[in-house]
Amino acid sequence: MHELMKVSGVLDLANVESAVPRIASKSEIETSHDPDYVSIVEAISNGAIVPGMAEFGLGTSDNPVHSGMYETTALTVGSTLTASELVTSGKADIAFAPAGGVHHHAMPRSAAGFGVFNDAVIAMTAMVEAGLRVAYIDIDCHHGDGVQMGHYDSSQVLTISIHESGKWLFPGTGYTHEIGVGDGTGYSVNVPLAPYTQDDEWHEAFDAVIPPLVRAFKPDVLFTQLGIDTHYQDPLTHLSLTTQGFNLVVQKLGVLASEIGKWIAVGGGGYDLSAVARSWTMALATMANHDLPSEIPASFYSLQHLTKFADAPPERNEERFLKEIRSYNSKTLDEVRSLVFPKFRI
């Protein structure tokens, strides 16, 4: 990704600056994670053998332990904090930390789904403590369950996750009835979609739910998780977006961000390397209001089979499958409108 951004000239644009991230402090991590859990991750990182670490989701196939894991994860958190601090201080209108976001499954007391310390929750906790209202939009193929949990009882964070339904995909959550508790009732929104949902149907769901809710919430900051495991070639998931379908989402988020004035973006899941490199390069170019050429520069050597940023669209779903997909997604939209829209007088 970084190589493609560089050879495409995006990193050299006059309105793009590369900031050096810092390592998050232990006290910052502990604003959103149990101190015992944080200390266990630190001990394992330093080579200790910790009995019962599976209780904390560590040592699994999704979350293997390794030397230095505390420091690398704290740096990931620090990259997201750096991005949020640049935006909230007014030094930047937009900041993109692509290393962040993949930890959106991490829970207060356990690792999950490749996530150890939930950088999005930590960053938004700091923003809420500073008196800011945050709209969090998660377009990763997997439900952003850890972020939802982190602010499930808060009216200061609107979390919206649009994802492949947990009926078919990890983590098995993110259903429409998960709308928050206490003061946070109505401020957690889930848009589960059917497998093999393609660009047109995905955008139909996005347009129906996300812009009206964000505008009704009136946040101070837009925070977006830009997972690209929605791609039709992703080996772990079943949605069917193209890179141009993904970038259209970024463009629409940019419209919302321009109305709000502050936009923080992080990366997320993505397990097809060509989709990751192209999509996040396209996203940064969109954020910088820069038109990329259609062709991948010849000097890009890491994935030599790539020639274009946009995909040749996959074949459309057969009519009988398309009917099932539309029926499932339509039911989801009806439930969201019924459960959440009245809260915002929509």
Which residues belong to the active site? 104
CB-based contact 153:181 (threshold 8 Å): yes
Written as one string, the DSSP assignment of 227-255 is --TTBTT-SS---BB-HHHHHHHHHHHHH
H runs (alpha helix) in the chain: 2-7, 26-29, 35-45, 69-88, 119-129, 145-150, 199-217, 243-260, 273-287, 319-339
Structure tokens at 308: 């274009």
How many helices (H) and strands (E) would you count in the chain?
Answer: 10, 6
Q: How far apart are CA 139 and CA 144, in angstroms?
A: 9
Residue 169: count other Cβ atoms within 10 Å of its Cβ.
20
In 3D, which of 262, 215, 327 has the Cα closest to residue 86?
262
The DSSP bridge partners found for residue 136 are 159, 223
Long-range pairs of 294-299 with CB within 8 A, sequence gap ≥ 24? 296/4, 297/7, 297/8, 299/7
Structure tokens at 125: 């906790």
CB-based contact 182:321 (threshold 8 Å): no
Residue for token pair 């602010």: 151
- Please classify residue 82 by burial: count the beta carbons closer than 10 Å to its beta carbon, then call 0-12 exposed, 13-18 middle and 19+ buried: buried
Q: How far apart are CA 4 and CA 314, in angstroms?
A: 24
